[in-house]
Structure 1
């Protein structure tokens, strides 16, 4: 009897896989399931750490200025993506990525040693964010190599279903665990799941060889990057769109934890409930986004995601209770899935495939500069006695303005035929 259960379980998984993705080669199936398992483990890690970092900091006594620096950390690693792109020209993509992720996630094992020292905790979190984001261009190149164009959207959606299911399951549990046992015990414990996820990522098979052959190991100069971008007007519009969108989402970001903890006085458990709602719509969206990308193209999904994102700052602008934030987190879940898939697939389609690292390095460096400058503008505005209402309103307006630029982008026809 017991021997039939695993085979029945595999049969169900195979049926779900075939229904969502269709027939695949053995190597492609292996990579899909390896990345799905790794993403589920990362989902457990994500739900317990990234979703609670700002609230933990505020409860530790972090000021508005310190929360702004934390938001900067979320973009700081992107500044170093040209460095990682150069590494990917010489070393295997997966191995380089694993080194950074082992270091970054491993820093959370040191949380018990920092006690209630806000600055020391921020140093650990800063190292984590830098190491987590530096390998970003390599991961995009890996997606482009491992998965065919006609399946990439659906496969990315399938993988993210596993990750968001794990986040959905773990988020309310994480809130209760943090309220009950404290971050000093829970964060290093869940870091183990992040490290195992990194180990599983190394089981992917396929072409992860250096991005450029030995004879082409020339790191592009700023002039070369600008010259390449100047030849691709749709990508430049896409870059401007992403910059305006990011400014809109970032300008109010340092205030989110202040609203949740100081104005609304939410507990970790209540923050966990909001995260659960976010995870539900993230999960449900992933059943739809991948297919929509393959049928209607990534810009369609990007547009819907941008419109949903505008509700986040607008809800915080008027929030007077827990319930005012419910619509914001529901829409934010849709954004997490839709913007990620739409952005990545649109960027791959618009870029020159032979120079993906150049294009994504440009995207990430601009995002990094934006992510450093805009959050630091927020405490300046607060010091000038600009009301939170107007800061959130400005964010919502910028997000909506970025949606208008979607109509100016012309996708190359062969990319999503």
Structure 2
């Protein structure tokens, strides 16, 4: 919306609705998703319930290959609006969640349906933005979305502080913004939807094996991504434990850390979007892995030099923010470049399903590593795995540099 002049004229209508939808999604995120675990704790959720909430997006991601089968055989936009509409519509009824278990159930159901639309979304991005402008256009949308989300979290936090029960009206308010974002997004014309004919072909996980057999490069890419991603995700549950229990950083200072991450997260989209269009998604992918690896390294150093621990955590937040934008955009753009129109949703479904597997397993491994190697040892192992992924992805990118992407 605010970057309309930087987008080619033939893409501006689609970009406008995508952008406006992104701004509304930022409001939705800032009023709801950001506060899921915080509110749950406030109303008495146990450690187990908090763990379930943290794992919910990854559990939902396990089903994305299944959803890709269904969405690829239907018109993408109506399918996306339907499943994401169900997800966000559920949050309109958060006033009914009078105890922690009901709250957890609603959030898990939200993620189940919200993730169901992700393969269709990837297909839509491939359809509406040509390869040479996709990274930049998606980056602009995410700058607007993230800045709006930052503002919304401050407003949402103020509203939620009114009383422990404020979420029962704040979350439905946020859900309304989420539904309005779909109203804007659905106005985008998806040309490939005109040619879709529904069929009743049965779902089979064997299709994933067939895709890997046919596309060896995609298989190699996923192996490397799994290695780096597993290392990175293994320490995610350790970060909050470390900063609170070891460094004793105050909540106010943690808010500063969060704001620093959000600022560089938003800024990164401006850079990475253009960078992907010029240099390609694979180079962006391995640079993002490098940035992520340094997050674990900074935490390791903080465990060894606690007297400067806060400054190292600040550095980690900067690198985390910069890496997040690059990691997200490079994944989207790599899938949309290597996969043909009829296969892009299946490719994304495989990618997200594998992310779900490592997202469910890796945190438990990280907790085990903490007991075995200590906090610092777990951080160092995560650094080595993620940095190893960076090296392998750089070699893979070099190997693929002469291979033409499918259109």
TM-score tier, shorter chain, comes to 0.7 to 0.9
TM-score by length of 1: 0.84
How many positions carry a matched residue from both structures? 396
Aligned residue among 324, 339, 344 for 1:351: 339
Give the unaligned 5+ runs of structure 1.
Answer: 1-9
Q: Quick check: 1:154 aligned with 2:139?
A: no
Q: Which runs of 5+ in 2 are unaligned?
A: none
In structure 1, which of residues 393, 400, 408 is the aligned counterpart of residue 380 of structure 2? 393
Q: Pick from 238, 255, 258: which aligns with 1:255?
A: 238
Alignment pair present for 1:415 and 2:399: no
Q: Deviations over 1:205-264 (max 9, x none)?
A: 1325288544x6534633343122122222112111221222122212233444456553
Give the equivalent residue in structure 2 for 1:194.
Answer: 178
For the 8 Å contact 2:55–2:360, the answer to whether it is kept is yes
Please report the TM-score for the alignment, with normalisation by the length of structure 2.
0.86
* 1:71–1:371 contact (8 Å) kept in structure 2: no
**Whole-angstrom distance in 1 between the partners of 2:316 and 2:196:** 43
Alignment CA distance shift 1:295-1:306 (3 Å): same
1:332 equivalent to 2:316? Answer: no
**Closer, same or farther: CA 174–285 of 1 in aligned 2, 3 Å:** same
Pick closer, same or farther for the CA change 1:224–1:121 going to 2, 3 Å. closer
TM-superposed deviation, 1:341: 1.0
Cα deviations by residue, 1:176-225 (Å, 9 ceiling, x for unpaired) = 443444452433332222221122221211325288544x6534633343
Q: Is the 8 A contact 1:64 1:379 kept in 2?
A: no
Provide closer, same or farther for how the CA distance between residues 74 and 313 of structure 1 changes in structure 2, counting only shifts above 3 A. farther
Q: 1:249 to 1:51 in 2, by over 3 A?
A: farther
Aligned with 2:278 (options 295, 299, 302): 295
* Alignment of structure 1 residues 210-359 onto 2, 5 Å: 213-214=197-198, 217-219=200-202, 221-259=204-242, 264=248, 266-267=250-251, 270-317=253-300, 318=302, 323-359=311-347
Contact 1:171–1:272 (Cα < 8 Å) also in 2: no
Hey, what's the Cα distance between the residues in 2 that align with 1:211 and 1:141? 14
**2:365 aligned residue:** 377
RMSD: 3.0
Cα distance, 1:414–1:408 mapped onto 2, change above 3 Å:
closer
**1:108/1:217 CA distance change after superposition, 3 Å:** closer
For residue 105 of structure 2, what is the aligned residue in structure 1? 123
CA shift at 1:90, angstroms? 3.8
Contact 2:275–2:284 (CA<8 Å) still a contact in 1? yes
The reply to whether residue 33 of structure 1 matches residue 16 of structure 2 is: yes
**Which secondary structure does the structure 2 equivalent of 1:221 belong to?**
coil
**1:170 pairs with one of 152, 171, 176:** 152
Alpha carbons 1:279, 1:333 under 8 Å: kept? yes
